[in-house]
């Protein structure tokens, strides 16, 4: 009998510890969720998980699998408690043993426009294809697979027009123009080489990688094995940004993939049975176009004199390159605050943050607190309700509450968001559907499926 009581006491102790921990996790998750709501950060920016409470058994495997801390346990079920931290890499969905998580775009409150695509990733405009994040798939593996499949469809279209693929007597310069060199564009470029297509691969950034290129240092990209044309299977399953970009750069070097960096698409229009893609460097003609750029769009500019100066950039890549310089950061979102914080931690860097509004309202609490501490310590000067008037050699002029100021300046980093290409594509005739968090019913090859 004493042994029975001992076992019962041990079981009661274990159960009590379990209940206490569950309640503790629940309280912590609810607090994090409430903090996100109060900060205006409860709406996910892109691809994100939706949990089916009827299937979720509360194993918390998805919470443990998420390296960003975006998920928590509320009421014994998994929940998205830190939506702004979610980058949609799908580790949570892959870890769920009961398939209770799907990855979707948009929410009931904030819909996201997604192009209407065929199973071959062709839009309603014949010959115009979309793959990757712009088409509704931010996962690295599936974006790369979409790029490969889209190029296969483009190859078949070319082959069906005869041995030379001729559409008319006016033969276009290229079989295909690929816009964007993230996972989808890189995979598509390799497939174009494999199929011996005449291709042009354009990338507006100075380096390849797409959205991954702009992840913070050491961010876990979380991909899965994927097959690349000319290369074979890329067997990463849990990889950080730097290693993934290094691998892709090696692929480009080994295969000889040709990429035109720093060339941004400004317009796309139909010409006969093909297309004209216009950039700041000129116009290019092709039978087909594959758009593989992300949803970040083209950086939003200030529209002030001197903005075309080499001292102006639109993203912070390496804070160390600004050591000992006077830097102006423009913007009021998390990217601007994070840039200012990173620069302020560098030796000898003089940092000023300019924001047009009176307060930083929609930023993470940790960024707001870190900025406040650096400001108090004199490491960052903050100019609220200010606007850039002009960028000049060695200085920048600001309009502030105290009047016009001229600041010594070596570099300006503009973090003012991006202009999505939706309007450009609509003018080209591409049809869009608004997605508001619905779980897609498309097959696995389609562009808006669940985890991978």
Indicate if the pLDDT at residue 169 is higher than 60: no
Q: Residue 40 has what pLDDT?
A: 67
Looking at the fold, whether 116 and 229 belong to one and the same domain comes out as yes
The answer to the question of residue 400 being in a domain is yes
Looking at the fold, whether 195 and 51 belong to one and the same domain comes out as no
Domain that holds residue 52: 2-104
Q: pLDDT digits over 13-42, tens only?
A: 777 777 677 787 788 888 888 877 776 677
The answer to the question of residue 323 being in a domain is yes
- pTM score of the predicted model: 0.70
Q: Based on C-alpha coordinates, what's the Rg of the chain?
A: 25
Indicate if the pLDDT at residue 206 is higher than 70: yes
Query: What's the rounded mean pLDDT across residues 304-329?
Result: 89
Q: Residue 446 has what pLDDT?
A: 38
CATH number at residue 229: 3.50.50.60
Buried b (16+ CB within 10 A) or exposed e, 14-41: eeeeeeeeeeebbeebbebbeebeebeb
Indicate if the pLDDT at residue 445 is higher than 50: no
Indicate if the pLDDT at residue 43 is higher than 90: no
The number of domains in the chain is 3
Indicate if the pLDDT at residue 448 is higher than 50: no
Q: State the DSSP code for 211.
A: G
Indicate if the pLDDT at residue 198 is higher than 90: yes
At 240, phi and psi to the nearest 5? -90, 160
Looking at the fold, whether 99 and 153 belong to one and the same domain comes out as no
Asked which of 55, 88, 104 is the last residue of a domain, the reply is 104
Looking at the fold, whether 387 and 323 belong to one and the same domain comes out as yes
Q: Is 285 exposed, middle or buried (0-12, 13-18, 19+ CB in 10 A)?
A: middle
232: alpha, beta or left? (left if phi > 0; alpha if psi -120 to 50): left
Lowest-pLDDT range, 77-91, 196-210, 336-350, 430-444? 430-444
Looking at the fold, whether 205 and 258 belong to one and the same domain comes out as yes
Looking at the fold, whether 38 and 178 belong to one and the same domain comes out as no
Q: pLDDT digits over 121-144, tens only?
A: 999 999 999 998 888 766 778 888
d(CA 222, CA 241): 9
Looking at the fold, whether 145 and 275 belong to one and the same domain comes out as yes
At 327, phi and psi to the nearest 5? -125, 135
Looking at the fold, whether 191 and 241 belong to one and the same domain comes out as yes
Give the other-Cβ count within 10 Å of 401's Cβ: 9
In this prediction, residue 424 has a pLDDT band, given cuts at 50, 70 and 90, of: confident
Indicate if the pLDDT at residue 183 is higher than 90: no
Looking at the fold, whether 128 and 269 belong to one and the same domain comes out as yes
Looking at the fold, whether 30 and 130 belong to one and the same domain comes out as no
Indicate if the pLDDT at residue 85 is higher than 70: yes
Looking at the fold, whether 24 and 90 belong to one and the same domain comes out as yes
Q: Would you say 347 and 430 are in contact if contact means Cβ atoms under 8 Å apart?
A: no
Give the other-Cβ count within 10 Å of 421's Cβ: 22
Q: State the DSSP code for 36.
A: H
Looking at the fold, whether 213 and 347 belong to one and the same domain comes out as no
Q: Residue 166 has what pLDDT?
A: 47
């Amino acid at each position: 009998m004493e042994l029975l009581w001992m076992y019962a006491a041990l079981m009661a102790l274990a159960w009590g510890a379990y209940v206490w921990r569950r309640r503790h996790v629940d309280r912590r998750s609810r607090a994090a969720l409430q903090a996100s709501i109060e900060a205006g950060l409860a709406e996910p920016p892109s691809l994100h998980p939706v949990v089916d409470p009827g299937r979720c058994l509360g194993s918390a495997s998805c919470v443990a699998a998420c390296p960003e801390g975006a998920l928590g346990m509320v009421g014994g079920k998994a929940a998205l408690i830190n939506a702004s931290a979610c980058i949609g890499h799908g580790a949570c969905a892959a870890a769920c043993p009961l398939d209770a998580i799907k990855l979707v775009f948009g929410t009931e409150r904030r819909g996201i426009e997604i192009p209407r695509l065929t199973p071959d990733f062709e839009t309603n405009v014949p010959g115009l294809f979309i793959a990757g994040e712009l088409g509704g798939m931010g996962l690295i593996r599936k974006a790369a697979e979409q790029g490969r499949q889209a190029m296969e469809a483009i190859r078949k279209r070319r082959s069906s027009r005869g041995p030379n693929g001729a559409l008319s007597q006016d033969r276009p310069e290229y079989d295909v123009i690929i816009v964007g060199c993230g996972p989808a564009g890189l995979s598509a470029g390799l497939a174009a080489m494999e199929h011996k297509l005449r291709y042009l691969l354009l990338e507006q950034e100075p380096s390849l990688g797409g959205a991954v290129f702009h992840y913070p240092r050491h961010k876990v990209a979380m991909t899965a094995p994927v097959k690349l044309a000319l290369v074979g299977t890329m067997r990463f399953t849990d990889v950080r940004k730097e290693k993934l970009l290094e691998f892709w750069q090696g692929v480009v070097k080994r295969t000889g993939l040709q990429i035109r960096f720093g060339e941004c698409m400004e317009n796309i229009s139909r010409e006969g049975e093909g297309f004209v893609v216009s950039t700041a460097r000129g116009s290019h003609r092709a039978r087909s176009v594959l758009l593989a750029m992300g949803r970040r769009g083209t950086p939003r500019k200030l529209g002030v004199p001197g903005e075309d100066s080499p001292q102006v950039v639109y993203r912070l890549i390496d804070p160390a390159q600004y050591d000992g310089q006077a830097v102006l950061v423009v913007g009021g979102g998390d990217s601007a605050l994070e840039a200012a914080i990173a620069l302020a931690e560098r030796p000898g860097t003089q940092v000023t943050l300019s924001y047009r509004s009176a307060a930083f309202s929609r930023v993470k609490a940790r960024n707001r607190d870190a900025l406040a501490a650096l400001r108090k310590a004199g490491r960052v000067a903050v100019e609220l309700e200010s606007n850039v008037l002009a960028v000049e050699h060695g200085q920048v002029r600001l309009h502030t509450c105290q009047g016009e100021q001229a600041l010594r300046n070596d570099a300006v980093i503009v973090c003012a968001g991006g202009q999505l290409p939706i309007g450009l594509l609509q003018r080209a005739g591409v049809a869009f559907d608004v997605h508001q968090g619905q779980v897609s019913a498309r097959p696995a090859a389609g562009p808006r499926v669940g985890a991978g």
